[in-house]
Structure 1
């Protein structure tokens, strides 16, 4: 199997309309979905990878078809380092961040899936991990919810066995921090003192406001505060860290190890949340994981738990996965029998590669839309 050759790449856009009123501090969520990549080989093996299809999925699909696929035909999926470097420089004028890098990320993940399948190994074991059980926290709590709805969802998460939950702050576009304080207090009272409690502001505040808010809610034992300021405002993130002792989580909007390096050098992160479906796939994420270990920071990737479970299981500093409840429907549609968390633990299947199988009936439906 080591002489596998890539013969083609298929991309399918799968999406669903959001059912309910989902809005965070800066954005209304209308549709969610995946751009699903299927890399075929001359020996019948297929590798799958995924990135987001919310805004710009059509551009991702076309970029893979016209820019990336021609560079892959005839190459071996084991060439992940060489292929990454070639494609990085090929698309560097348009692709160091954004949709082009999302596109390459999905393809790279599919190559790693192929490597695991060719070797007959789950990726977490191929990467050096031994424990298939990975902690995972529940994530939701939209700012568009009333306080009663927020509390009800938090209780639901705990009732499902999650030991840690994350909710959003920044109501009214971030213009009413005092109401956020009241909502945080209500949730903490409802879930009790023993449940891990994290917050996500989705980039809404300037550093001074974020620091004021953080210091008002520190009594509620917040495990981390995510993106209190705009993700690209590295000085603002650093200012936040200086102004409060609540750990700072960020990184989901970074692309490549260079952005991550700058977060570390500027003392602008405690818990790193990079997303393999954006930063360059497993190839770049492994470099980022090494950086996070060198700077002695926790690694807790953003969303996409089925793409990230192998990485967290293999990382000495991997702390947990994130389950975004809003993706439940599309996850259950795209995959056949994908693992689900039980009592806050995701158990990785002992199957080669990612250990995932596409629901081809659903994929065919997506193609026909």
Structure 2
């Protein structure tokens, strides 16, 4: 699994499980990030968990001096998802219904995190997703136009069992500069009707995204790595985003607020990476401008049971109270030797020369000096 910045050969990543206990015995369960939980929790301790929106703001205020941006936002988000789980359990309803949805079906698209897959394995993944009714898919790419065209055709071929014109997306994971993006997307669009280009530039480059959106036919999708509603202001003001994306790892309240901010501008929203925080799927069912959600895997994380199904090209949410998460702590404890995604290489580490190469597929020179001993 991985992207243009690198990959993890094992395909294993760690997803923390957070459980909030209450004095009435109701537990809130969430997946996401465990960053800064000890620093954030005093904002919640002793509070009524039903006041989720106020507690969300209380958590942000609690880390005001250093700021909530970055990894700390993930800790806030995981607590937030656990609070929503408690609130829905207290009234005995699935979260999607508590949030105001009437339809439990959430449209989705297939996403293989597939930069390192062979063509054969790429075809097998998207064929398995086509069997579940998916009609759209997202390819990781951005290094070589011919390679991406060949692999987009593989994705299209697998998905045509459900539609004559599958929606095809390309994700470059912030690896280009502006003119690289214009040239690359233009070359792809000469052969493929590209639905959107995702994270073509650095996440904060609102001017660049706006210029790119005007230069290509594909929609520009970005925002999954922005940690806070305020970080979207420039993208909104300058017209730098066509598909507003929200990282599922940033939680439910962030998703809801961002969805309504986008809706006020007639923009659709799309959550990214639901495996890391499945509860956000419930929020997607409840907003008026949800477009499609990223489905990376048909299986739940190890040791986690999620009350949902993948059918008809999307996610069908269940009736279990709360977010529908059940944790098998014994299974998790017995498999703690599974591996670690915090390693020196992989999609979580940006290459030194990303966006600074004349050719996108140029090899990187290893000019790292020998380390000092300490």
Please give the per-residue CA displacement for 1:191-211, whole angstroms capped at 9, x wherever unaligned.
444222211111111111111
The whole-number CA distance in structure 1 between the counterparts of 2:119 and 2:240 is 31
Matched with 1:284 is 254
Matched with 1:293 is 263
Please give the per-residue CA displacement for 1:68-104, whole angstroms capped at 9, x wherever unaligned.
2233221111222332222212213334322111011
State the shift of 1:128 in Å.
Answer: 1.3
State the shift of 1:244 in Å.
Answer: 0.6
Contact 1:168-1:200 within 8 A present in 2 as well: yes
For structure 1, the residue ranges without an aligned partner over 5 or more in a row are 1-21
The whole-number CA distance in structure 2 between the counterparts of 1:367 and 1:186 is 36
TM-score by length of structure 2 reads 0.81
Equivalent in 230, 235, 246 of residue 218 of structure 2: 246
What SS does the aligned partner of 1:346 have? strand
Equivalent in 30, 35, 42 of residue 23 of structure 2: 42
State the shift of 1:367 in Å.
Answer: 7.1
Matched with 2:171 is 200
Contact 1:94-1:100 within 8 A present in 2 as well: no
Contact 1:139-1:165 within 8 A present in 2 as well: yes
For structure 2, the residue ranges without an aligned partner over 5 or more in a row are 339-374
Matches within 5 A, 1:326-345: 328=299, 331-336=300-305, 338-345=307-314
Matched with 2:147 is 179
Contact 2:130-2:158 within 8 A present in 1 as well: no
Equivalent in 151, 170, 186 of residue 215 of structure 1: 186
What SS does the aligned partner of 2:65 have? helix
Q: Which moved more, 1:289-298 or 1:189-198?
A: 189-198
Contact 2:30-2:325 within 8 A present in 1 as well: no
Please give the per-residue CA displacement for 1:315-354, whole angstroms capped at 9, x wherever unaligned.
11112221113x84xx242322542302312111112211
State the shift of 1:189 in Å.
Answer: 4.9
Matched with 1:130 is 102
Contact 2:40-2:63 within 8 A present in 1 as well: no
Contact 1:210-1:228 within 8 A present in 2 as well: yes
State the shift of 1:291 in Å.
Answer: 0.1
Please give the per-residue CA displacement for 1:249-270, whole angstroms capped at 9, x wherever unaligned.
1111011110123221121111
State the shift of 1:41 in Å.
Answer: 0.5
Contact 1:247-1:271 within 8 A present in 2 as well: yes
TM-score by length of structure 1 reads 0.82
Contact 2:252-2:279 within 8 A present in 1 as well: no
Matched with 1:71 is 43
**Change in 2 beyond 3 A, CA 1:182/1:51:** same
Equivalent in 50, 53, 60 of residue 81 of structure 1: 53
Matched with 2:274 is 304
State the shift of 1:43 in Å.
Answer: 0.7
Q: Which moved more, 1:121-130 or 1:355-364?
A: 355-364
Larger fraction in helix: 1
RMSD: 2.3
Please give the per-residue CA displacement for 1:276-318, whole angstroms capped at 9, x wherever unaligned.
422xx32232211110110111111011152221111111111
